[in-house]
């Protein structure tokens, strides 16, 4: 009973203290595509994605109701780093949804010009605002409306102490006339967060979490929760404690930042409020733990950058370079590629559930079979074409002697290499009793059957990785091999493991394709997500390295194309492959059928 009363009281006080407008709320998911277009159109980096940022802790003065409810300690502000454009996950500050929507676009525009100045926070935001107003009149009109709405929601100057009132007046003057305030007056309390400005610069380097370099094949991906909000964190040593007495009154603590074992103790419990626990902490501490758990929470964290080993490798295996976008150089001998032959696989026939679809594809692709064409009116050939020969004799003209018939075999002069992502993420379920890896396996079966029927040259490879020293490529079928029951046995045995270091796999595939002497060379990449690995390859680093590998392939006359089932692929694949060189399959179950038709469209 006490717990119910307490929860009811908490909801009531929080509702009284809330000064937002949930009925007019606008979600970032609704505008992520549009804000990304605006950000890039105004000069923002095309490699950066749009993601939700974590709330920023502030020291502004709060009223007694907010203190009682324990609310409004943090505010969602915008910023841009080397990984992504960070915008508030939800904007509901104003009573008009149109104004909330305009605030998203204004913040995206402000982030696009964020790197134009390197001034302190106050001068930087004013100068960037002034530049946008002068150069984009359409944004200037929206800014005028946003400033008026922002001033209305800010604390009333008449109700503030004298020093806080001077500070608030200066903030309003800087909003109304950007560039007019050089320095803020001092006050006991900090000013209320300015929603139309970017957040103050963080002192920590911001990277994606890629801490645990242990084998993660034990993780149950079906139990994962996904949380895309970026959070502040730090690395610590794993505490060795088994409990103890509480020697203080917990109710005396209003906020704290402590180590939180987010993945639970090794002995599982039923607490599923992991995201809420992460929200309650001002800073999340991260430590490596060798003990395994089934439940996990995926979070994007701000962590100081660890030392990255970029020394060249020495090995008998194939060594490949890797592109470092931070130094803008291609580091030689950074990745070690190891071929993993698919040995001891029993030959097998095509699975029964694919037979009907395979017969249908064979009929539909019959038009692509090599055929002999009968060519008329040729200057030479195997026999005489009677009609033009009679016309020549009857008219006795001096026209070209084109009265021969010839036959020529019409063949498709192309080579295709299909590179399939076999990382651990493909273990995820795509439906009842059907995983993504199953969809990839069925796609490889039907793709090989179709290309074998129409006599096109093709090769099949799978890949996954575990750090730059272990990039595994699985030769399912080389260009020299004939597709048969033995190849089917290899395809039937594919399994998922480790991570997705795309750049090295693409460079290796490019090397193989470059040896083919056909007129057209096509590289198909079949994937379910972004490039990643358990080191620094996560995030923009992996995206930029993959893009460099794709650009190198294009320079060699190879046409790359990506087929993915990642519904967020529009955030990063246009930068990697170009807007015309990828497609997104909505349902993994549609992949086996669509893959062959996509190939037909690309090679017609």
Q: What's the number of domains the chain is made of?
A: 4
Question: Which whole number is the average pLDDT over 317-321?
Answer: 85
Do residues 443 and 592 make contact, with C-beta atoms less than 8 angstroms apart? yes
- Nearest by Cα to 27 from 92, 84, 86, 82: 92
Burial 454-485 (b: 16+ CB within 10 A, else e): bebbbbbbbbbbbbbebbbbbbbbeeeeebee
Helix axes 591-603, 355-364, angle to 10 degrees: 20
pLDDT band (50, 70, 90) for residue 207: very low
Task: Let me know whether 294 and 399 are in one domain.
Answer: no
Q: Give the mean model confidence (pLDDT) for residues 545-567.
A: 93
In the predicted structure, residue 599 carries a pLDDT above the cut 70:
yes
Mean pLDDT (the chain, rounded): 79
Per the CB < 8 A criterion, the answer to whether 543 and 83 are in contact is no
Cα–Cα distance measured from residue 48 to residue 506, given in angstroms and rounded to the nearest whole number: 22
Residue 171: which region, alpha, beta or left (left: phi > 0; alpha: psi -120 to 50)? alpha
Q: What is the pTM of this model?
A: 0.71
Average pLDDT over residues 242-246: 50
Neighbouring residues of 381: CB distance < 8 A, sequence distance ≥ 6: 375, 404, 405, 406
Tokens 């004013």, residue located: 126
Q: What would the two tokens of residue 5 be?
A: 């009363």
Query: Does 397 or 141 have the greater pLDDT score?
Result: 141
Which residue would you say has higher pLDDT here, 387 or 346? 346
Chain position carrying tokens 């994606």: 208
Average pLDDT over residues 188-205: 75
Give yes or no: residues 167 and 233 share one domain: no
User: What's the pLDDT score for residue 285?
Assistant: 62
Which residue bears the tokens 């908490």?
10
Identify whether residues 355 and 390 lie together within a single domain: no
Q: How far apart are CA 44 and CA 111, in angstroms?
A: 7
Strand partners, 55: none
Same domain, 28 and 64: yes
- At 155-187, the pLDDT tens digits run 888 888 888 889 989 999 999 999 899 888 888
Quote the pLDDT of residue 47.
Answer: 82
Unique residue bearing structure tokens 């379910």? 528
Bigger pLDDT: 360 vs 1: 360
Range picked from 221-225, 315-319, 558-562 for highest mean pLDDT:
558-562
List CB contacts of 472: < 8 A, sequence separation 6 or more.
338, 340, 463, 464, 465, 466, 498
Q: 288 and 382, same structural domain?
A: no
User: Are 403 and 439 found together in one domain?
Assistant: no
Instruction: Note whether residue 247 is domain-resident.
Output: no
Asked whether the beta carbons of 490 and 404 are under 8 A apart, the reply is: no
User: Does residue 24 fall inside a structural domain?
Assistant: yes
> Do residues 349 and 482 share a domain?
yes
Distance between CA atoms of residues 322 and 326, nearest Å: 12
Range list of H helices, 365-479: 386-395, 436-453
On whether both 8 and 121 belong to a single domain, the answer is: yes
pLDDT of residue 55: 79
Q: Is residue 141 part of a domain?
A: yes
Determine the pLDDT at residue 17: 67
Could you tell me if residue 38 is inside a domain? yes
Give the pLDDT mean for 508-513.
Answer: 94
Pairing outcome for strands 371-378 and 318-324: unpaired
Of the three residues 176, 192, 227, the one that is the final residue of a domain is 176
- SS3 at position 429: strand
Residue 326 maps to a domain = no
Same domain, 457 and 526: yes
- Indicate the length of the chain as a whole number: 604
Q: What average pLDDT does range 436-465 have in this prediction?
A: 92
Give the residue from 502, 362, 357 showing the smallest Cα distance to 422.
502
312 found inside a domain:
no
**94 pLDDT exceeds 80?**
yes
At 5, the pLDDT band (50, 70, 90 cuts) reads: confident
All residues at 6 or more sequence positions from 213 whose CB lies less than 8 Å from its CB, including other chains: 467, 534, 535
d(CA 74, CA 76): 7
pLDDT of 568: 83
Is beta strand 559-564 parallel, antiparallel or unpaired with respect to 520-527? parallel
Which pLDDT does position 262 carry in this prediction? 47
Can you tell me the mean pLDDT for 90-103? 91
Mean pLDDT of 67-95: 83
pLDDT band at 397 (very low <50, low <70, confident <90, very high): low
| 491 pLDDT more than 90 | yes
Q: Domain span at residue 281?
A: 208-237+257-306
Residue pair 300/232 in contact (Cβ under 8 Å)? The answer is: no
CB 426 within 8 A of CB 496: yes
Residue 306 has pLDDT above 60, yes or no: no
pLDDT for res 15: 66
- CA dist 517 and 27 (Å) reads 51
Residue range 109-155, pLDDT digits in tens = 999 886 655 678 888 899 999 999 999 988 999 999 999 999 998 88
The encoded tokens of residue 557 equal: 């006359």
pLDDT recorded at residue 255 = 45
Q: Are residues 358 and 377 in the same domain?
A: no
Q: What is the mean pLDDT of residues 82-108?
A: 90
- Cα–Cα distances (Å) from 320 to 316, 334, 479, in that order, read 12, 6, 22
Q: Specify the 3-state DSSP secondary structure of 304.
A: coil
- The residue behind tokens 């929470």 is 297
Q: Give the pLDDT confidence score for residue 321 in this predicted structure.
A: 92
Tell me how far apart the alpha carbons of residues 566 and 588 are, in angstroms, rounded to a whole number: 9
Mean pLDDT of 395-402: 62
- pLDDT score at 108: 92
Q: What is the average pLDDT across 474-483?
A: 92
Tell me whether residue 331 is in a domain. no
pLDDT score of 544: 93
pLDDT at 266: 38
SS3 content of the chain, % helix, strand, coil (to 5): 40, 20, 40
SS (H, E, C) 318-367: EEEEEEECCCCEEEEEEEEEEECCCCCCCCCCCCHHHHHHHHHHHHHCHH
Residues 263 and 233 in one domain: yes
Looking at the domain assignment, is residue 193 inside a domain?
A: no
The stretch 594-601 carries a mean pLDDT of 88
Residues 16 and 74 both lie in one domain:
yes
Q: From CA 476, how far away is CA 460, in angstroms rounded?
A: 5
Q: How far is CA 553 from the centre of its chain?
A: 21
Give me the pLDDT at residue 413, please.
83
């Amino acid at each position: 009973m006490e717990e119910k009363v307490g929860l009811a009281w908490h909801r009531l006080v929080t509702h009284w203290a809330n000064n937002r407008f949930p009925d007019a709320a606008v979600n970032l998911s609704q505008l992520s595509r549009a804000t990304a277009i605006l950000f890039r159109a105004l000069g923002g980096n095309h490699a950066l994605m749009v993601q939700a940022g974590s709330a920023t802790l502030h020291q502004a003065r709060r009223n007694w109701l907010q203190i009682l409810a324990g609310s409004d300690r943090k505010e969602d502000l915008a910023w841009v780093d080397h990984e992504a454009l960070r915008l508030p996950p939800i904007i509901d500050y104003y009573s008009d949804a149109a104004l909330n929507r305009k605030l998203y676009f204004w913040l995206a525009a402000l982030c696009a010009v964020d790197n134009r100045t390197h001034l302190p926070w106050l001068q930087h935001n004013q100068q960037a605002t002034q530049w946008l107003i002068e150069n984009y009149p359409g944004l200037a009109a929206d800014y005028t409306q946003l400033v008026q709405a922002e001033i209305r929601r800010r604390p009333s100057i008449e109700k503030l102490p004298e020093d806080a009132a001077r500070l608030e007046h200066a903030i309003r003057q800087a909003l109304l006339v950007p560039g007019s305030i050089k320095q803020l007056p001092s006050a006991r309390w900090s000013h209320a967060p300015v929603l139309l400005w970017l957040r103050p610069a963080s002192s920590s380097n911001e990277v994606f979490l890629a801490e645990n370099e242990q084998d993660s094949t034990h993780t149950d991906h079906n139990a994962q929760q996904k949380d895309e909000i970026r959070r502040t964190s730090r690395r610590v040593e794993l505490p060795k404690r088994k409990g103890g007495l509480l020697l203080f009154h917990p109710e005396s603590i209003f906020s704290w930042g402590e180590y939180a074992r987010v993945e639970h103790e090794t002995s599982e419990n039923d607490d599923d409020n992991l995201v809420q626990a992460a929200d309650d902490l001002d800073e999340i501490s991260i430590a490596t733990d060798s003990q395994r758990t089934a439940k996990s929470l995926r979070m994007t964290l701000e962590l100081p950058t660890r030392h990255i080993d970029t020394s060249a490798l020495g090995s008998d295996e194939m060594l490949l370079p890797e592109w470092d976008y931070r130094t803008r150089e291609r580091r030689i001998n950074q990745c070690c590629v190891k071929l993993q032959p698919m040995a001891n696989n029993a030959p097998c026939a095509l699975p029964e559930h694919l037979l009907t679809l395979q017969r249908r594809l064979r009929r539909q692709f019959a038009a692509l079979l090599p055929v002999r064409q009968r060519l008329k009116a040729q200057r030479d050939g195997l026999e005489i074409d009677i009609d033009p020969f009679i016309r020549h004799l009857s008219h006795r003209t001096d026209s070209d002697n084109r009265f021969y018939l010839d036959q020529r075999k019409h063949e498709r002069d192309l080579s295709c290499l299909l590179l399939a992502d076999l990382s651990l993420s493909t273990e995820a379920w795509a439906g009842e009793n059907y995983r993504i890896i199953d969809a990839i396996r069925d796609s490889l079966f039907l793709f090989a059957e179709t290309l074998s029927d129409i006599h096109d040259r093709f090769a099949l490879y799978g890949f996954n990785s575990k750090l730059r020293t272990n990039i595994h490529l699985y030769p399912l079928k080389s260009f020299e091999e004939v597709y048969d029951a033995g190849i089917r046995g290899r395809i039937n045995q594919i399994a998922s493991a480790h991570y997705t270091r795309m750049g090295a796999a693409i460079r290796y595939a490019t090397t193989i394709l470059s040896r083919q002497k056909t007129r057209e060379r096509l590289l198909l990449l079949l994937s379910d997500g972004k490039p990643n690995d358990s080191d620094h390859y996560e995030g923009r680093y992996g995206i930029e390295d993959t893009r460099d590998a794709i650009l190198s392939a294009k320079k060699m006359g190879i046409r790359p194309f990506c087929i993915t089932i990642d519904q967020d692929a529009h955030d990063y694949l246009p930068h990697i492959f170009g807007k015309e060189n990828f497609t997104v399959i909505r349902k993994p179950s549609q992949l086996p059928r669509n893959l062959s038709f996509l190939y037909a469209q690309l090679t017609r």
